[in-house]
């Protein structure tokens, strides 16, 4: 029986997840296919119904706009995914009564490890741009880095249910403000995580550039196409450290590969290096 995995989202043609996963499976010597499937929230239940009846499925990577919708399509939600209400990973477990689908979240680990790789040991002051599912994961990641207070800047302050619920469940103090007011607080923060869609931070970037001030902290911009983003360019020009979204994508994919292959220690530095090669990231320095 051939093994299968895929990434689901809409749109999905830009995704680099297939390159990351296929490189890992090749290095591990595992015959597993990995494709990109474009699916909307409305069509997700029908697709999941089809997949459940097909043999060989090991896992699904879940991206926008499906991370919340997937909650109702799995048999069980584990770990931080349940706390946040955000699923970016689905695994398939063989049970005597049939296949059981399990939702989890590797975005939090992806953000934590991407920031740690950039030298972040703690984040005394932190800003998150955006208020959706990935922002909720960012708040959880910052909490793991010791942050007790996060300022969240959004385009619509009435649409922050996911990130507010996540902060409350994690015991993180949250300040919600309008994105139009983000330039100066973001420029002064130790860590900024932008979860905004591509180009959505361009106006903010222009405002930050107009400040003509240094930006000493670390910016993780989860949007990686096009790259560099305008906010990443402005941040770097201000003297700050920029972490591309591909770093987060890499580290969350590493955790997914471990889950999908049901291997752990075998997904080692050599596997991570070929994943880096596949998307043009520098190899890790041990």
Catalytic residues: 67
How many Å apart are CA 182 and CA 262, to the nearest integer?
42
Q: In what order do the strands lie in the sheet with 57-62?
A: 32-38, 3-9, 57-62, 89-95, 98-104, 76-77
Name the 3-class secondary structure at 211. Answer: helix
For the chain, helix, strand, coil in percent to 5 are: 40, 20, 35
Torsion from C-alpha of 71, 77, 83, 89, nearest 10 degrees: -70
How many Å apart are CA 251 and CA 16, to the nearest integer?
13
For the record, the structure tokens of 234 come out as: 């402005």
Q: Where are the beta strands (DSSP E) in 161-265?
A: 173-178, 191-194, 218-221, 241-244
What is the DSSP annotation of 142-157?
HHHTT--EEEEEES-T
């Amino acid at each position: 029986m051939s093994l299968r995995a895929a990434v689901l989202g809409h749109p999905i043609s830009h995704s680099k997840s297939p390159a990351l996963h296929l490189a890992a499976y090749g290095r591990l010597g595992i015959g597993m296919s990995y494709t990109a499937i474009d699916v909307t929230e409305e069509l997700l239940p029908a697709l999941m119904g089809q997949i459940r009846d097909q043999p060989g499925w090991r896992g699904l990577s879940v991206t926008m706009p499906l991370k919340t919708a997937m909650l109702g399509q799995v048999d069980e939600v584990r770990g931080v995914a349940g706390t946040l209400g955000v699923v970016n990973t689905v695994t398939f477990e063989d049970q005597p009564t049939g296949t059981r689908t399990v939702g989890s979240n590797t975005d939090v680990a992806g953000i934590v490890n991407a920031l740690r790789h950039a030298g972040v040991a703690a984040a005394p002051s932190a800003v998150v741009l955006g208020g959706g599912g990935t922002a909720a994961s960012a708040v959880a990641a910052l909490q793991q880095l010791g942050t007790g207070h996060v300022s969240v800047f959004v385009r619509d302050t009435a649409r922050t249910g996911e990130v507010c619920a996540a902060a409350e469940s994690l015991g993180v103090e949250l300040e919600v403000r309008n994105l139009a007011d983000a330039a100066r607080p973001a420029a002064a923060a130790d860590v900024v995580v932008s979860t905004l869609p591509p180009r959505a931070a361009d106006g903010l970037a222009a405002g930050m550039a107009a400040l003509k001030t240094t930006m000493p902290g670390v910016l993780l911009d989860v949007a990686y196409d096009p790259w560099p983003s305008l906010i990443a360019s402005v941040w770097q020009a201000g003297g700050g450290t920029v972490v591309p979204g591909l770093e987060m994508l890499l580290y969350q994919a590493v955790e997914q590969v471990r889950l999908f292959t049901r291997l752990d220690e075998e997904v080692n530095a050599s596997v991570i290096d070929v994943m880096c090669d596949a998307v043009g990231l520098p190899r890790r320095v041990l």
